[in-house]
Amino acid sequence: MTPLQLARLSFLPSIPPLLKDISSLSFIKKQEMEGNEAIKSLFPHTFMQPHLEGVQGQSKKAVLRLGVVLSGGPASGGHSVIAGIFDSMKRLSQESRLFGFLNGPKGIITNQWRELLKEEIDRYRNQGGFDLIGSGRTKIETPEQFKSSLEVVKELKLDGLIIIGGDDSNTNAALLAEYFLKEGCSTRVIGAPKTIDGDIRDVYIEVPFGFDTACKTYSEIIGNIARDAISSRKYTHFIKLMGRSASHITLECALSTQPNLAFIGEEVAAKKKTIAGLVQEITDCVIKRFERGREWGIFLFPEGLIEFIPEMNELIKQLNLLLAQGVALEEIPKKVSSTFALLPEKIQKQLLLERDPHGNVQVSQIATETLFMELVAKELQRKGFKGKFSPQSHFLGYEGRAGFPSNFDTTYAYALGLIAPVLIRDGFTGYMCYVKDLIHPPSQWKIGGVPIISLMHFEMREGKSKPVIKKALVDLNGKPFKLFDKKRDLWKEEDHYLFPGPIQFFGDSSITDTVPLSLTAEYSSR
Amino acid sequence: MTPLQLARLSFLPSIPPLLKDISSLSFIKKQEMEGNEAIKSLFPHTFMQPHLEGVQGQSKKAVLRLGVVLSGGPASGGHSVIAGIFDSMKRLSQESRLFGFLNGPKGIITNQWRELLKEEIDRYRNQGGFDLIGSGRTKIETPEQFKSSLEVVKELKLDGLIIIGGDDSNTNAALLAEYFLKEGCSTRVIGAPKTIDGDIRDVYIEVPFGFDTACKTYSEIIGNIARDAISSRKYTHFIKLMGRSASHITLECALSTQPNLAFIGEEVAAKKKTIAGLVQEITDCVIKRFERGREWGIFLFPEGLIEFIPEMNELIKQLNLLLAQGVALEEIPKKVSSTFALLPEKIQKQLLLERDPHGNVQVSQIATETLFMELVAKELQRKGFKGKFSPQSHFLGYEGRAGFPSNFDTTYAYALGLIAPVLIRDGFTGYMCYVKDLIHPPSQWKIGGVPIISLMHFEMREGKSKPVIKKALVDLNGKPFKLFDKKRDLWKEEDHYLFPGPIQFFGDSSITDTVPLSLTAEYSSR
């Protein structure tokens, strides 16, 4: 282990007051969730459950047998949730036992698990990654998979199953909860909100864990690149940021580093911006900066940008249709919208040749950052640009998902873990645990449980309308976007780059315990 | 400014004892450098100067007028050198004045400078980047450029000019020192060894500043990616690391993170490895790891790898020759070695179409990481590989050049800065300042000056034999490489990844004050 790994093992996350004496935690039922008939028909057993608020109650011990599974891409804090679960259930009873399903939900279906003991948990406290038990993307979908999951939890005599995952994994948790109840199985299912993308949000889930560490890691790198740019004075950096559809990560990183331009997919869609329009916007910025003696720049692009551009969306629909109809490849360019002709040859090829397993165009594989790099270079040439334009492309993704969790993430995730066993002790199922008022110190955090189906709506998935957790997109009327919108004009032509530097774990709390800026913007005046 | 920027302003680097009372620093002349006639004929005035060792002497004050310039790509610690120069000369006399030439050596030639005052210096202490005065790559080469440089330093009445730069910039410093003496100008020229690439090394210069921060930043990212790999269990990462020709950075990052494979260009050249051989090595590793249930991996490639592969070197020579002869592009593939046919189409195109300003193939532009990614995918397919191979490529470069300097770099660079004005006070010119015994705490560091021309040899540059500082490559008989060689077999099939995490600035010195591992390996038993 490295010195930092060792040092982090002994970090003690601050604990919200209600979670200090965990056996005395109790829940009161708050307002009932709103529901509709469509949801009701699918979730007859878990429909209309109330929101739960954690309060101080009588000490209530319990011997629990719990299963835990990590689902989807890693997010910093996963090991902290597991440590929280473990500590919580051991305080409820030293005889409680925790079983970790291996490599994602597949581990439940195939009955692959390992009992997690103290020595092992202790080696993973406050560490990054999901490697204690591994993760995976398998979904529990078919009747056979539901059935074998039921058999496994029964065989293990689980009082509860805790699913640490994103929107789809928590959708799965809700479906399992419903199914287990229907089958008369007493295993409760509880979810914990995980995803670097930051797209699970509602009144109770202010942000999933992992978002903070990812954004801070990307912001460290963006800040370093920006400082390089003003030092070497010759490169224009096109930086794509992970985050699937929603642009939360790009918005947070923009607030943290103040780049010259940052595109928010949701705004691009709302304003119906075109590829040509975006290229113009970037080109104008390059030219105006050149006129002020700045032949460098920092531009941020969210991973999901392409699918928010209406004409690209249209083009992709056309392509998918023509491909499905078996139209010859060489005929396709003539039959689709003129947007196709605008794209660099490499991207055209990619759109025609690379398919996902369903035969669809792989939107997420399009290299947005090089797409714009090439189109801007062409446009500058067309305009007879006299300055230097040396573009560099970057994609920040995997480096932000499994690093040491920030103090914010490890403390938040640990608290989520502490709550879950108590929800199970009290018989609740189909809930996600929540911690809120996160911009305040942990001593002021509120905790509780939110019915997962209260976050759901219906979406078309593979041709069928399915209940899924609604992805929270950037709200263009929300305070974080408005803050960005107010400041961004200033950043375009002059340089107001900020250099956040690497995440710090020791020293002054004004450096180690910072909260995402978008969260502060959202909640600070409430 | 961010909280970390503010906090770093007040960091006080440890100061080696001899530099605490800077006016009492003196130098004794140690052994004379070895020299040859070829060097002598070019450097008649600065030939055979002795090495200088710093010792405690009598206090000797002096009013100095100094110029400083940053040259080449950024390296963390540049601002610390400048702060060291400033503090040193102000202690020699409050009337001393420092002038910063703007945007690299061009600033000297074109008489662009700004006086640096305390308030400004204080805003850049322990900060990353070169943006206080900017940097640039212009070389002072032509007689006119030498002449205008002379005029500028005369007009500014400079006692000394300090050039913070890499091998080429320090070569320039030696040429300027010689030229100024020849012209009877009393401006002394002193160099400070800067480059993230780590390729300026001799007995006195153990490592240039900036190497440590770059390697730690890349190692943070590699460690994060490795932790992601063992968590999501499905990606094979091909990571290219900056560092020009020498593989010092890759070697250091390999020791810090223990990837499954790391290629050292110097070894590839010594063992005359071929593209096909390297592809085989990687493919074998992927297959053996798959057989052990590991469908992921971390492979490191140095930026300079391509030019170390003998057959590629040969191919590039052939291409350059044919291109110079004006052979038609479509004829070229038939006339060059069969290596060309091995390469992916994209790389073939790149080799034929993209030229540097001299019309040569741009070796450094070849995307080594994607080259091997594609060839390995092809080879796996040919072998009927049944496992999952999902490669991801990364290039780590700009994010490591301008971040907050590690404690090691800022302390080392500050000490270099403190020394330079005293060398000038004592009339020395054509020297690089050095700090050695760097693996020990600063209280044990030794300091002095090394004649720049003692590091020189002759190299062909644009068809002419020119004296340049010899690039220090990885020594295959050296202790750092041997340490790597001893450990690497263990890392191939099993995972022994290390997770260094982000650079820490506060807390225990075992975490904040670490020294490059290759330096420890090199010097620890001496």
Domain with residue A20: its CATH number is 3.40.50.450
Share of chain B above pLDDT 70, in %: 100
- Cβ distance A3 to B511 less than 8 Å, yes or no, reads yes
Which pair of tokens denotes residue B478? 């050296």
Q: Does residue B353 register a pLDDT over 90?
A: no
What pLDDT does residue A355 have? 77
A197 is catalytic: yes
Which pair of tokens denotes residue B315? 């191919």
Residues A312 and A453 grouped into a single domain: no
Q: Which residues of A touch B227 (CB under 8 A)?
A: 74, 128-129, 131, 402-403
The catalytic residue among A159, A167, A197, A212 is A197
Torsional class of A64: left (φ above 0), alpha (ψ -120 to 50), beta (otherwise):
beta
B525 domain residue, yes or no:
no
Residues A449 and A493 grouped into a single domain: no
Q: A391 and A376 in contact (C-beta within 8 Å)?
A: yes
Note the pLDDT tens digit of each residue in B460-514: 777 788 889 999 999 999 999 999 999 999 999 999 999 999 999 999 999 999 9
3-state helix, strand, coil in chain A (%, to 5): 45, 15, 35
Residues B394 and B414 grouped into a single domain: no
- Helices B211-232 & B248-257, crossing angle to 10 degrees? 50
- Mean of the pLDDT values across residues B372-382? 96
- Cβ distance B399 to A224 less than 8 Å, yes or no, reads yes
What pLDDT does residue B465 have? 86
Residue at which a domain ends, from B452, B469, B486: B469
Q: Which residues of B touch A499 (CB under 8 A)?
A: 2, 4-5, 127-129, 404
What pLDDT does residue B98 have? 98
CB atoms within 10 A of CB B9: 14
Q: What is the DSSP pairing of strand B188-193 with strand B431-436?
A: parallel
Q: Does residue B526 register a pLDDT over 70?
A: no
Residues A406 and A395 grouped into a single domain: no
- Cβ distance A227 to B5 less than 8 Å, yes or no, reads no
Which residue in the set A103, A129, A499 is minimally distant from B128, CB to CB?
A499
- Cβ distance A502 to B502 less than 8 Å, yes or no, reads yes
What pLDDT does residue A359 have? 73
Q: How far is B257 from chain A (nearest CA, A)?
A: 9
B522 domain residue, yes or no:
no
Question: In order along chain A (526 residues), what is the average pLDDT of each group of 10 residues?
Answer: 96 97 97 79 92 97 98 97 98 98 97 98 98 94 97 98 96 96 98 96 95 98 98 96 95 98 98 97 98 97 94 91 88 92 89 78 83 96 96 96 98 98 98 97 97 90 84 96 98 97 97 97 83
Beta strands in A48-187 (DSSP E): 50-56, 65-70, 97-101, 113-115, 160-165
Q: How far is CA A39 from the centre of its chain?
A: 25
A507 domain residue, yes or no:
no
- Cβ distance B508 to A506 less than 8 Å, yes or no, reads yes
Q: How far is A303 from chain B (nearest CA, A)?
A: 16
Which residue in the set A2, A398, A401 is minimally distant from B498, CB to CB?
A2
Note the pLDDT tens digit of each residue in B8-45: 999 999 999 999 999 999 999 997 767 788 888 999 99
What pLDDT does residue B367 have? 87
- Mean of the pLDDT values across residues B363-380? 90
- Cβ distance B227 to A500 less than 8 Å, yes or no, reads no
Residues A46 and A159 grouped into a single domain: yes
Sheet holding A50-56, edge to edge: A25-32, A50-56, A446-451, A431-436, A188-193, A160-165, A65-70, A97-101, A113-115
| Closest of B151, B214, B148 to residue B185, by C-alpha | B151
Which residue in the set A73, A131, A232 is minimally distant from B135, CB to CB?
A232
Query: Can you give the residue range of the structural domain that contains B133?
Result: 3-210+402-469
CB within 8 Å of B323: residues ≥ 6 apart: B332, B355, B359, B360, B361
Instruction: Give the sign of the dihedral formed by CA B413, CA B418, CA B419, CA B423.
Output: positive
Helix, strand, or coil (residue A185): coil
- Helices A345-353 & A368-382, crossing angle to 10 degrees? 150
B127 domain residue, yes or no:
yes
Q: How far is A494 from chain B (nearest CA, A)?
A: 14
CA gap B502, B302 in Å, rounded = 22
Give CA angle at B28 (B26, B29), nearest 5°. Answer: 145
What pLDDT does residue A38 have? 85
Q: What type of residue is A468?
A: V
Residue at which a domain ends, from A426, A446, A469: A469
Q: What type of residue is A276?
A: A
Helix, strand, or coil (residue B54): strand
- Mean of the pLDDT values across residues B150-178? 97
CA gap B228, B495 in Å, rounded = 13
- Cβ distance B506 to A501 less than 8 Å, yes or no, reads no
Q: A385 and A359 in contact (C-beta within 8 Å)?
A: no
Helix, strand, or coil (residue B240): strand
A420-443 core/surface letters (b: 16 or more CB in 10 A; e: else): bbbbbbbebbbbbbbbbebbeebe
CA gap A473, A247 in Å, rounded = 7
CA gap A18, A91 in Å, rounded = 14
CATH code for the domain of B307: 3.40.50.460
Q: How far is A499 from chain B (nearest CA, A)?
A: 6
Which residue in the set B3, B232, B404 is minimally distant from A73, CB to CB?
B232
Q: A227 and A241 in contact (C-beta within 8 Å)?
A: no
Residues A281 and A299 grouped into a single domain: yes
B370 domain residue, yes or no:
yes
Task: Report the domain count for chain A.
Answer: 2
Q: Does residue B172 register a pLDDT over 80?
A: yes
Residues B97 and B165 grouped into a single domain: yes
Q: Which residues of B touch A410 (CB under 8 A)?
A: none
Q: What is the DSSP pairing of strand A25-32 with strand A50-56?
A: antiparallel
Residues A488 and A459 grouped into a single domain: no
- Cβ distance B4 to A504 less than 8 Å, yes or no, reads yes
CA gap A101, A114 in Å, rounded = 7
B513 domain residue, yes or no:
no
B520 domain residue, yes or no:
no
Give CA angle at A383 (A380, A386), nearest 5°. Answer: 70
Catalogue the active-site residues of B. 197
Instruction: Give the sign of the dihedral formed by CA B415, CA B421, CA B422, CA B424.
Output: positive
Q: How far is CA A380 from the centre of its chain?
A: 36
Which residue in the set A131, A227, A510 is minimally distant from B3, CB to CB?
A510
Which pair of tokens denotes residue A19? 């979670």
Q: A257 and A223 in contact (C-beta within 8 Å)?
A: yes
- Cβ distance B506 to A503 less than 8 Å, yes or no, reads no
3-state helix, strand, coil in chain B (%, to 5): 45, 15, 40
Q: Which residues of B touch A399 (CB under 8 A)?
A: 221, 224-225, 228
Residues A418 and A272 grouped into a single domain: no
CA gap B475, B458 in Å, rounded = 20
What pLDDT does residue B437 have? 97
CB atoms within 10 A of CB B20: 11
| Closest of A415, A408, A455 to residue A431, by C-alpha | A455
Which pair of tokens denotes residue A336? 């689709």
Residues A304 and A429 grouped into a single domain: no
B295 domain residue, yes or no:
yes
Overall pTM > 0.90:
yes
Residues B17 and B143 grouped into a single domain: yes
Residues B191 and B277 grouped into a single domain: no
Q: Which residues of B touch A394 (CB under 8 A)?
A: 398
Residue A72, exposed/middle/buried by CB under 10 A (0-12, 13-18, 19+)? buried
CA gap A67, A245 in Å, rounded = 31
Helix, strand, or coil (residue A395): strand
Sequential DSSP letters for A447-458 = EEEEEGGGGEEE
Q: How far is CA B494 from the centre of its chain?
A: 32
CA gap B74, B89 in Å, rounded = 24
